[in-house]
Amino acid sequence: MSDEFARLKQTLGTIHDLERVASLLAWDQEAMMPPQGAEGRADQRATLVRFAHELLVSDELRRLLEELRSFEESQPYESDEASLIRVVRRDNEKARRVPAELRAALSRAGSLGLGAWLDARARRDFRVLLPHLEEQLELKRRYVECFEPADDPYDVLLDDFEPGLTTAEAESVLEALKEELVPLVAAVPELDPREDLARSGPFDLDALRRFSLGLLRELGFEPDAWRLDRAEHPFAMAASLGDIRITTHFHEGHLGGLFACLHEFGHGLYERQVSPALERTPLATGASSALHESQSRMWENLVGRSRAFWVHAYPALQGTFPERLGRGGLEAFYRSINRIQPSLIRVDADEVTYNLHIIVRFELEREVLAGRLGLADLPAAFDERVQAYLGLDVPDVRDGVLQDMHWADLTFGYFPTYSLGNVISVQIWERARADLADLDRAMERGEFGDLRDWLREHLHRHGRKFTPRETLERAAGGQIDPAPYVRYLKDKLETTFGVAVA
């Protein structure tokens, strides 16, 4: 190993330490920190992020990368070494394009925007947020101008979450979903509330937590390398490959917190199964937002909302809540957890309508960025689009345009990765099923080791070595394609609810 490469690893290790700690501080803030710690915490995070960024854009790192060109070329493309240099070169070039002053302005606008969003929600008044969104949009346009002109300015924003994917590609996938799913949703009959077992609480919170933890352990949550805690908005975080932390939010009325556990377990397992050889480098994480989401959705939906899984798990769940579930059989429970019903809140939406929430937001943020929709007109446009795709009236701005923090916190361009993740989850799942002929039987027996191993081998271990496109090619044997996902949904609706759609 060359001296320069050793120095590169050292610098990257330092950056990685700072970023991991910044993530841990965020976890701590959500899951542990008393409220009065907020001010000190903001300073602490800013200091770590600044150090990490200064190292990433440093002339020294750039020089090192130049010196390493011939070494990189001497190594196979797939090697850890060539991959590390290649990815860091891209990170460094992207980061250096954005002036420090603009980056600071974005960061400040994001913090202020979040505060304004909370305030606007409390006051049910979009106008509180509007001036912040206007400033943010201006900053985001300046950000876009830092990069080579793209076919669509949205390309630049999307690239931060899904490197290499164009807006046109994302649009074609989401358009296909819209075309298929809007009529599908309209055709599904409503579930009789008396049969809606998964929402038949009160469920005792301690018992629900114990049951969820037991289930997670069967899936692969090792107590000496994972934690499960409570957070208002569930998320997953890796403090290191040996320290994976997931959070959830249990409710008395329904079992949503259990499915949030499965979802976050999917994120956590991706981080957990990255090759240890990549630890303390920027490759020790998932390849993109959509690929990450494919893993959370796989464990939440393709495992966690499958019949096979509950053949195994339902007796124990029933035994945990005999008063609530004692009289409801597996089939009723299965229909309940797969209930399809338009609703106002994205994060509570079912497998099908979830994508319509995403499509609403994706279309609107593109129109705003392109200047075709003024920010002041966003609330009305939001409500119209919800009516058109979900058939619902929005009674309160908090359930409408002020529902998500994603615009207020400057993450324009993030929304589509949620639906792309759904699409990819089924592409990968079909591959895994083809290789693991016994997968359904294994799930019925509560055995998940082969699935974990398959995911490690074909996806997780690569971390961020390859582009999302290359990574998907390796895991699914092709490019992003909505057809398997649509097929999967139609098949499920037909066999579960007797809905036959062409």
Would you please indicate which residues are annotated as catalytic (active-site) residues?
264
Contact region for its own copies (CB under 8 A) — 194-202, 221-229, 399-407, 431-439?
221-229
Burial of residue 188 (CB within 10 Å: 0-12, 13-18, 19+) is buried
Angle at which helices 307-320 and 205-219 cross, to 10°: 140
Residue 322 tokens read as: 């005999």
With binding defined as CB under 8 A, does residue 115 bind its own copies? no
Least Å distance between CB 305 and its own copies? 28
Q: H or E element: which one contains 77?
A: none
Residue 18 binds its own copies, judged by CB under 8 A: yes
- Helices 59-67 and 80-97: crossing angle in degrees, nearest 10, is 140
Residue 128 as a binder of its own copies (CB under 8 A): the answer is no
Whether 423 and 480 have beta carbons less than 8 Å apart is answered as yes
* The residue to which tokens 């164009």 are assigned: 166
Decide if residue 39 touches its own copies (CB under 8 A): yes
Strand order through the sheet with 226-230: 226-230, 243-248, 236-240
Q: Identify which of residues 205 and 392 has a Cβ nearer to its own copies in the complex.
A: 205
Q: What are the residues facing 229 on neighbouring strands?
A: 247
Minimum Å gap between C-beta 38 and its own copies is 7
Positions 260 through 279 that interact with its own copies (CB under 8 A): 279
**Structural element, H or E, at residue 328:** none
Check residue 33 for interaction with its own copies (CB under 8 A).
yes
CA angle 433, 439, 441 (to 5 degrees): 145
Q: Which of 47, 74, 172, 479 touches its own copies (CB under 8 A)?
A: 47
Contact segment (CB under 8 A) with its own copies among 220-228, 393-401, 410-418, 426-434 equals: 220-228
Residues 257-293, buried b or exposed e (16+ Cβ, 10 A)?
bbbbbbbbbbbbbbbbbbbeebbbbbbbbbbbbbbbb
**For residues 292 and 421, is the Cβ–Cβ distance under 8 A?**
yes
Q: CA 44 to CA 345: how far, in whole Å?
A: 33
CB nearer its own copies, residue 50 or residue 96: 50
Does the protein bind its own copies through residue 13 (CB under 8 A)?
yes
At residue 192, φ and ψ (nearest 5 deg) are -60, 120
Residue from 40, 319, 374, 395 binding its own copies (CB under 8 A): 40
**Given candidates 7, 11, 28, 457, which one binds its own copies under the rule CB under 8 A?**
28
- Of 5, 8, 12, 20, the one binding its own copies (CB under 8 A) is 20
Interface stretch with its own copies, choices 17-25, 205-213, 300-308, 348-356 (CB under 8 A):
17-25
**Measured torsion, CA atoms of residues 413, 415, 419, 422, in degrees rounded to the nearest 10:** 100
The answer to the question of residue 478 lying near its own copies (CB under 8 A) is no
Residue 11 CB, shortest distance to its own copies, in Å, is: 11
Supply φ then ψ for residue 217, to 5 degrees: -65, -35
Other C-beta atoms closer than 10 Å to the C-beta of 198 total 24
What x-and-dash track marks residues 419-458 binding its own copies by CB under 8 A?
----------------------------------------
Question: Considering CB under 8 A, how many residues would be counted as binding its own copies?
Answer: 39
- Does 312 interact with its own copies (rule: CB under 8 A)? no
> Minimum CB separation from its own copies for residue 35, in Å?
5
Question: Residues 172-191 vs its own copies: string with x where CB under 8 A?
Answer: --------------------
Q: Closer CB to its own copies, residue 47 or residue 495?
A: 47
Binds its own copies by CB under 8 A, chosen from 146, 176, 225, 381: 225
Is there binding between residue 48 and its own copies (CB under 8 A)?
yes
Longest dimension (CA), the chain: 70
Instruction: Look at residue 273 and give its three-state secondary structure.
Output: coil
Among residues 30, 51, 67, 94, the one that binds its own copies under rule CB under 8 A? 51
Instruction: Quote the CA–CA distance of 359 and 353 in Å, as a whole number.
Output: 10
Residue 419: closest CA among 247, 172, 140, 160: 172
Q: Which of 4, 7, 25, 452 binds its own copies (CB under 8 A)?
A: 25
Cβ contact 226:245 at 8 Å? yes
Using the contact rule CB under 8 A, the part of the chain among 46-54, 183-191, 299-307, 397-405 near its own copies is: 46-54
Instruction: Give the residues lining the site for its own copies (CB under 8 A).
Output: 13-14, 17-18, 20-21, 24-25, 28, 32-41, 43-44, 46-48, 51, 222-227, 239-244, 279-280
